[in-house]
Amino acid sequence: MRHLRCDSPPWGHAGFRHCGGGEPRPRCADLRDLRLWRGGLAVRRAASGDREDQGTPRRVTLPADFPIDPATVQAVVFDCDGLLLDTETLWTGAEAAFVEGHGHVWLPEYKEHVIGTNLAFTAEYLCAIVGRAGDGPAAQAELAALADAEYAKGIPQLPGAALLTELCGARVPLAVASNTHTPRLRDQLTVAGLGHLADTAIGSDQVAHPKPAPDVYLAACESLGVSPADAVAFEDTSHGVASAKEAGMRVVMVPSLHADHRADWTVAALDDPALVAWARMLGN
């Protein structure tokens, strides 16, 4: 779901509002989200020189306006798949090819079960669907080969990934924490043009338990020399949010499928104007 610029409050039928004929944007669920919408609008108007009304400047956005105070952030840890890179789309192609190759129909609900998990879980789950229960290790290799074929087509960044990692990295230490194994994770980042994050990328093969366990986020914070309480995680799935919260971190969520109420701040995309303004204030 991409962020839409809209100067009208995001109310609407069935939780959505269409802005300017584009895609629907999420309805504000509570007053905090309304403040976020207003904060984003203030940032856009401040950037363009607009006024709230004639002769009255719009109030400057301050750190206290954000759900997470940027002055309290000593490090940022990003998820990768579906957050920085559009690899979830590529993996969906591989997973669908695996299921359909066994004569079954790929259903969207299958993706909801495996998104944010790891390859071992995905393989076992899909094997159960296609009648190959217990054949997980072999299926992992098949899925990896199918994914490699998808990767050969290119690995696109998601909107705002380059800008936000650049802004955050200029102010605080960064790491990447993913359920993808480290070699593949670092290759993905490099191929996609985010190679500056590869050296601090930690995959689930380096810890005892993958997400939703907190291990990979704890390892990332340890590698940066910061307490989890002083770091912020960026996630796109509920499994990832659960992992980061269990580690004791604050979480910004950019949902791939569904929002999660446990996140401290939910935005539609990494290039959300309020989020970009927040990144510019880190460490201040």
Active site residues: 79, 81
- From the list 68, 47, 63, the residue with the least C-alpha distance to 284 is 63
What's the CA gap between 137 and 134, in Å, rounded? 8
- Residue carrying structure tokens 């770091």: 231
Q: What is the 3-state secondary structure (H, E, C) of 101-125?
A: HCCCCCCHHHHHHHCCCCHHHHHHH
Instruction: Look up residue 48 and give its two tokens.
Output: 């363009």
Can you say how many angstroms the Cα of residue 40 is from the centroid of all Cα atoms in its chain? 19
Nearest to 63 by CA among 75, 73, 77, 48: 73
Residues sharing a CB contact under 8 Å with residue 247, sequence separation 6 or more, in sequence order: 214, 217, 218, 221, 228, 233
